[in-house]
Structure 1
Amino acid sequence: MKIAPHGNPDNMGDLQEQLKQVFEGFDTSGDGTISKAELGKAISQSGKTPPDPKMIDALFKGIDKDGKGSLDFNEFVEFILSLPPPTDALRAAFLEMDTDGSGYLGKDELKVLLKKAGVEQISDAQLEQICNDVGGEDGRVSFEEFCSYFPQ
């Protein structure tokens, strides 16, 4: 499976390799799938308290799209990529894009961001619309507005 055709292809390969390593760490039986028990074990190892078995059942059922009772790599990747990014990662991305240090992303900064995301050409009117949609009428995007653009 190739992950997302967007962005830097080298980074996509790195991401796929990282996800493969995590998947293999969860797959303690080495059979190429993650069972409900393996998922529960991985979750309990990451937290201080054992997870509720009902929560594990519900989570597993939501991830196991084909209903086979095990998670293959594609189901695992789909689930991981559906998770919202952590706030600290969003903060780091925002600060990197806020090149003038104003605490807001202006049109020029958003244009650079869109170009990095693969949008080669964007009209001033389209950029204005994006600023208004994400940042409101002031035409600037605050960190809170930036975060609200990502599903939580």
Structure 2
Amino acid sequence: MAMRRGKVPPEVMAVFEKYMKNNVRNLKKDQAMTLFSNEFGLDEEQSEIMFHTFDKDMNGIMSIWEFQQFFMCMGDHCQEVIAKFKEIDADGSGKLDADEAKEGLKSLKTATGRNLEEKEIEFFLKSAVGEDGLIDLGAFTNLLYTLKLYKAPAPKK
């Protein structure tokens, strides 16, 4: 079932349009990397991870729809999410192993202000780990969004 593509929120378009050329609603990888760096303060490695996480069809291009997914997950919370990830990444490897992730998730609160239950943590860890058994920044971002730990930014009036 295809996702219904409604109207892109204006705050998403406003950021995206600064980087697109000739009204094409796609960004090549280098354009997307520049956007992540300039607009969200990501370093090159973080930009690379986000590009690969949100380039859902893996065609090397960030479409407006893929960018909207990133924006919904990260929005105004980008630096908070990165700071949290770095805090949880005790060994500084750039990926979370099961123990780091478990400890980190125990310290987080949901949007409603409660702590996660053990079974929720187990479930989310299973869904977030990559083939290497680790969680990278992209998977962590999706995880926080799934958990609704960060509310998506409210549309500007």
TM-score normalised according to structure 2 size? 0.41
Structure number with larger C-alpha Rg: 1
* RCO higher in structure (CA 8 A, sep ≥6): 2
**What TM-score, normalized by structure 1, do the two folds share?**
0.42
